[in-house]
Amino acid sequence: MPREIFRKVSVDRLSSPEQIDQLLQVTTAREWVALIGANGSGKSTLTGLSVGLSAASKGTVSFRGQPISPGKVFAAAQNVALLLQAADEMLFAETVLGELEFGTRFRALPPEPVLDVAGAVEFFGFRGREQDSPWELSQGGRQRLALAAILVGAPGILVLDEPTTGQDADHMRAFLALIRRVRERTGLTVLTVTHDIRSVASRASRVVLLGEGRVRADGPTARVFAQTAELERWGVLAPPLARLQVALAPGADVLLDTESVAAAALAHRDDHAATAVRQ
């Protein structure tokens, strides 16, 4: 089944259907797409569309061929799991277990859920804390609980709205590692809306740059981050490592982790030394 969720969509602020059409129709299983762009570029509008929080003025928003109707958020939420930036606002129950069972009180679990309640307790590390209040967990714990709660069932796409905002490096790394494990276990496509370029550079397999409601760049992370001028034009600063490589060797894809850059630099130095010796 294709995982396309937008087709020829336009809303008042996103007035270019062809561009938006290109956006997510090629999301494939296990792909990690990062949606980046300056404030007001249309990222949140697209997030809202994906779960029926807002309506498209043209085109259709659908998942696996089923239209996502505006206003029917609870129905869309069965397919699209959206984790809000304010994850605390997504917790309502008295206990951790109550949170995980919350969704199952209103709709039956599908025969083959991506994650059931027991599996979520185990996978997200809540064993022994089932009867604790969610408010006794740390901030990171509450975010993990909200994530676990929206994944109980059979969603096909996980949408993360600014998931690492306000987190220190350790928490950010831990959260991103958790998302990687979730992908490995569930096969979910992940769509991250973020300003945190470091997290995009380290994890996303594909980057979509939005600017004034249109897609300005779309492709593998290494290729998009090589377009530093285009990124800057639309209010996004590429990672320093990428800018350095573009300054040294413009036009090529960039390496996004320090180890790879160091290895490449050392190999280049050895080549250079060998050439010098030969001469």
In the complex, minimum distance from the CB of residue 48 to other proteins, in angstroms, rounded to a whole number: 9
Choose, from 18, 89, 94, 162, the residue flagged as catalytic.
Answer: 162
Give the nearer residue to other proteins in terms of CB position, either 72 or 268: 72
* Number of neighbours of residue 46 by Cβ within 10 angstroms: 28
In the complex, minimum distance from the CB of residue 274 to other proteins, in angstroms, rounded to a whole number: 59
Give the nearer residue to other proteins in terms of CB position, either 49 or 207: 49
| Local structure of 182: helix, strand or coil | helix
C-alpha–C-alpha distance, residues 225 and 229, integer Å = 9
Using a 10 angstrom Cβ sphere, with 0-12 exposed, 13-18 middle and 19 or more buried, the burial of residue 278 is exposed
Kindly determine how many residues on this chain lie close enough to bind other proteins according to the rule CB under 8 A.
26
Give the nearer residue to other proteins in terms of CB position, either 82 or 178: 82
Among 59, 95, 102, 171, binds other proteins (CB under 8 A): 102
| Local structure of 43: helix, strand or coil | helix
Does 103 sit near other proteins (CB under 8 A)?
Answer: yes
- Concerning whether 212 is annotated as a catalytic residue, the answer is no
Specify whether the CB–CB gap between 36 and 210 falls below 8 A. Answer: yes
Does 77 sit near other proteins (CB under 8 A)?
Answer: yes
Sign of the CA dihedral with 124 first, then 147, 224, and 229 last = negative
Phi–psi pair at 13, nearest 5 degrees: -90, -15
Among 17, 153, 163, 239, binds other proteins (CB under 8 A): 153
Of 59-67, 85-93, 223-231, 264-272, which segment contacts other proteins by CB under 8 A? 85-93
Active-site positions?
162
